[in-house]
Chain A
Amino acid sequence: MTTAIELPHAKRTLANGLDVLVHEDRRVPIVAVNLWYHVGSKNEHSGRTGFAHLFEHLMFEGSQHYDGGYFAPLQQAGALLNGSTNTDRTNYWEVVPTSALDLALWMESDRMGYLLPALTPERFETQRGVVLNERRQNYENRPYGMALMALSEALFPPEHPYHWLTIGAVDDLRAMEFEDVRAFFRTYYHPANASLALAGDIDTERAFALAEQYFGDIPPADKPQPVAASASVPREIRLVLEDRVELPRVYIAWHSPAMFAEGDAEADLLADLLANGKTSRLYRTLVYDKRLALDVSAYQHSREIGSFFLLASTAAPGQSLSEIAAIIDERIQTLAEEGPTDAEMERGLAQAEAHFMYRLQTVGGFGGKSDQLNAYNVFRGDPDFFAGDLERYRRATPLTVRNAVRMYLAFDRRVLLSIVPRGQAALALPGSEPVTVS
């Protein structure tokens, strides 16, 4: 017997435009509060990058009616809380004992409605410093940490909002002015640009009533215009970046279908069957049989206005990136000609089914049920899409996966980036142009 894999919920939209989604799961006396604002680094502009994320930090520093750090009262109530920013959205969440639901809603609504009076230049300065350290820790001081930056700059033209990473450029972060905060808040942080999900030990009607009570009187503003941009790589681009690493690594990136677009699920399946796990074609050849590489991975980076498919492999000591890249191409070519086997498709589907089930285990936090409801609601306007999302994987066939390889993994429309130890540019793929990122 198979259990249905579904995520039941109810949705209402308040008069001010705030979407409210409720899911009941009464097993543990906790409630997840999850609030998405449809704004990310893709809403930024060249020269002003990193703003959306820095702003997220400010949201924890206090609001008009609670003029102090947000962690203390919520942790005192037993809450776990965090927030994050990516290219497409910013999310804030608390997982609270049922006793603290009012507190979490009060605080989330206060910073949605009344943030600006509490913001001071001093708080802004401190968080700018914290973010510069976050950047040093996660990018500058980490091996291969600058790869995504170099790839994004090569895949997307300077005016495209995916050209820069969410963390932003150092110069931009240093040049930001406190005054920019106000306009940003007014444009993006209001009910009509937000989606609230409540999941856990709560009655649906009570949840809607609480949402109305705390958020109902916050005035909306205009819904921001969707960001539109397109990008393509018309040829093969080869780049090399020297870094503080022991072993060279090659990254291969292609533009791929946007999140939920036709071909997106196939690209995800393709990532697994090509390079994830010992059974995958490239792991088996490069790491297991030939021992040319230490690792190989692939990932479909699904995003709102355009995705990219990224393969990466680190050379074993003394092995060459050229040989690795040649084998990768050979395997892709075979897959483009023959498509995946039935056994590979069965395995991929079994994994997808299980992972959708595992995604139903937690109500809150990053990737919990409340976060998923908001993702479907914000990116598709359809919080009911959980089952439909899985259906995309069930519908994939050897033919559709083969077609995805042919359409998206073309050799003459991609970026190849070699990251090599400092002073050893010769280890890069032949014909690579030096690139600098900072």
Chain B
Amino acid sequence: MAVDRSRLPALAADPQFTFPQIVRHELANGLKIRTVEHQGVPVVTLVMQIDGGLGADPPECEGLASLTADMVDEGTGSLSAIDVSDALARIGGEYDVEVGADVTMFTLTTLARFADRGARLLSDMLTSPSMRDTDFERVRKLRLDRLRQLKDLPPAVAERAFLELLYPSHPYGHLAIGGDASLRALTLDDAVRFHASTFLPWRATLVVAGAMPHDELLAVARNAFGKWTGEERLLNVPSAAAHVTADANASACLAIVPRDGAAQSELRIGHLSARRDTPDYAPLVVMNAILGGQFVSRINLKLREEKAFTYGARTGFDWRRGLGPFSVQTSVHTAATAESIADTLQEIAGLRGPRPATPQEMSLAQASLTRGYPRNFETAGQVARSVAQLALFGLPDTYFAEFVPKVNAVTADDVTRVAQNYLDPSRAIALVVGDRKVTEESLVQLGLGELHVLPPG
């Protein structure tokens, strides 16, 4: 049968997909557990999510949460840092730490037959890290050196400066790694105390997903973490950064971190915009997809496919429990720096009224968000991390099943409304990491006020 090439083939009916069933448990010590059966490849992923991320760093102690998390695989009991690494390798374990704004996530993936062994090892590491002085000094030194290297990496320089502009006096206003001065001032004692006041069962959620029945997954968790007690007395429990008011109305700002002779300008454009618990989450996700959240979006099509200024441009919300930013991220040819900023702001302004989302854009954005949704549940690791997100933001277990209908219910008017309420080019921060000599003249002509010159890195 010859193919009809006069038109694209029609899509078949959307396939049915049953989202994973989440079972909740709570141990006597207060540890919340979520188990999810994920059949197929005999692999298990454990995610331990502990309340307290970079936002829990005390003032002048930026980097403490991250440095403490780094000490977790530096030895426990009779095991040295090398022994821990060896034990992980022997179960083919993939271990990862991610320090977010509100929580710290420890992830271990291993073969199902090593699930018990892996969970016990993770438990030892998390609940009784050795916290030896020599390890602390080595880790801190590596971080200071890493910080120095990040000065050469334009995206890292941009992230850091952008956070400082977004949150001038807020616990969210720094990178997880912290800064040179704060890292130098930290002591082992700081880390020990942070661990004691943060790594507590009642502040944690453990997700176990893998190719085992719920009761076996639960047994894995219980056997490993059932005896975790934590300190009885609560010392300096970190305050929740999410509750600290951020000034969403900080004014517009044009800034540059000079980088002489740079081949490209790294750009960040945006402002504080929304909390994850906003009732407008679904319209905002659709709006983002139209504006810059995917390849076929206004800003990428403009800057990449029409003007060839960049290899790619993306927009997104950095979702947090507290107020988080909406921003554009891209790296553009130096000569196109000012024009790229102007085009971006124009696209944002356009969506707020003059050029509302078209029916084609709505249908493309909604379909791409919903039709592809099941592929996010292919691996145990994806499932475990998705369930951990529910715990992070206090979302119901029915969230996955409700996502698609909620996105499909968004209208073009909703998108215009949230664009008006949550985006505002007149208070956008436009940050350039690039060649000042070449770009300054055109930047100041943008009408975004004077150019603030920031210190390098």
Which residues, 41 to 79 on B, are CB-close (under 8 Å) to A? 41-43
Tell me if B91 counts as interface (CB < 8 A to partner A). Answer: yes
Contact of B264 among A76, A131, A133, A279 (CB under 8 A): A133
Q: How far, in Å, is A79 (CB) from chain B's closest CB?
A: 7
Q: Complex: how many Å from CA A433 to CA B5?
A: 59
Question: Residues of B within 8 Å of A, CB-based: how many?
Answer: 80
Q: A214 to B3, Cβ gap below 8 A?
A: yes
Q: A28 to B17, Cβ gap below 8 A?
A: yes
Q: How far, in Å, is A65 (CB) from chain B's closest CB?
A: 4
Tell me if A385 counts as interface (CB < 8 A to partner B). Answer: no
Q: Complex: how many Å from CA A308 to CA B153?
A: 27
Which residues, 238 to 275 on A, are CB-close (under 8 Å) to B? 244-247
Chain A residues lying within 8 Å of B262, measured Cβ to Cβ, are 141
Q: How far, in Å, is B409 (CB) from chain A's closest CB?
A: 18
Q: B368 to A134, Cβ gap below 8 A?
A: no
Chain A residues lying within 8 Å of B151, measured Cβ to Cβ, are 246
* Chain A residue, CB-CB nearest to B368: A75
Chain A residues lying within 8 Å of B13, measured Cβ to Cβ, are 99
Q: A350 to B375, Cβ gap below 8 A?
A: no
Chain A residues lying within 8 Å of B367, measured Cβ to Cβ, are 75-78
Q: Complex: how many Å from CA A278 to CA B93?
A: 14
Evaluate whether A294 and B311 lie within 8 angstroms (CB atoms) in the complex, with A103-B9, A141-B264 already known.
no
Chain A residues lying within 8 Å of B234, measured Cβ to Cβ, are none
Evaluate whether A27 and B39 lie within 8 angstroms (CB atoms) in the complex, with A78-B371, A141-B154, A279-B82 already known.
yes
Name the residue among B16, B331, B378 with the largest chain A CB count within 10 angstroms: B378
Q: A98 to B8, Cβ gap below 8 A?
A: no
Q: Complex: how many Å from CA A111 to CA B219?
A: 52
Q: A279 to B16, Cβ gap below 8 A?
A: no
Contact of B364 among A75, A132, A351 (CB under 8 A): A75
Which residues, 112 to 159 on A, are CB-close (under 8 Å) to B? 114, 125-134, 136-138, 140-143
Chain B residues lying within 8 Å of A409, measured Cβ to Cβ, are none
Q: How far, in Å, is B45 (CB) from chain A's closest CB?
A: 10
Tell me if B450 counts as interface (CB < 8 A to partner A). Answer: no
Q: Complex: how many Å from CA A317 to CA B152?
A: 15
Tell me if A329 counts as interface (CB < 8 A to partner B). Answer: no
Chain B residues lying within 8 Å of A278, measured Cβ to Cβ, are 81-82, 84-85
Q: Complex: how many Å from CA A130 to CA B303?
A: 10
Q: Complex: how many Å from CA A242 to CA B429?
A: 34
Q: Complex: how many Å from CA A354 to CA B91?
A: 8
Q: Complex: how many Å from CA A66 to CA B9?
A: 11
Which residues, 68 to 118 on B, are CB-close (under 8 Å) to A? 81-82, 84-86, 89-94, 109-111, 113
Name the residue among A3, A107, A361 with the largest chain B CB count within 10 angstroms: A361
Chain A residues lying within 8 Å of B145, measured Cβ to Cβ, are 247, 294, 316-317
Q: A-contacting residues of B (Cβ < 8 Å)?
A: 1-3, 5-6, 8-17, 39-43, 81-82, 84-86, 89-94, 109-111, 113, 138, 141-142, 145-146, 148-149, 151-154, 261-264, 266, 294-296, 304-311, 331-333, 363-364, 367-368, 370-375, 377-381
Q: List 26 A-B contacts (CB under 8 A).
A: A2-B113, A28-B374, A30-B374, A69-B305, A71-B294, A75-B294, A97-B371, A97-B372, A98-B12, A98-B15, A129-B308, A137-B310, A140-B264, A217-B2, A279-B82, A291-B138, A294-B145, A317-B145, A347-B86, A353-B92, A354-B93, A354-B110, A354-B111, A355-B92, A358-B109, A363-B378
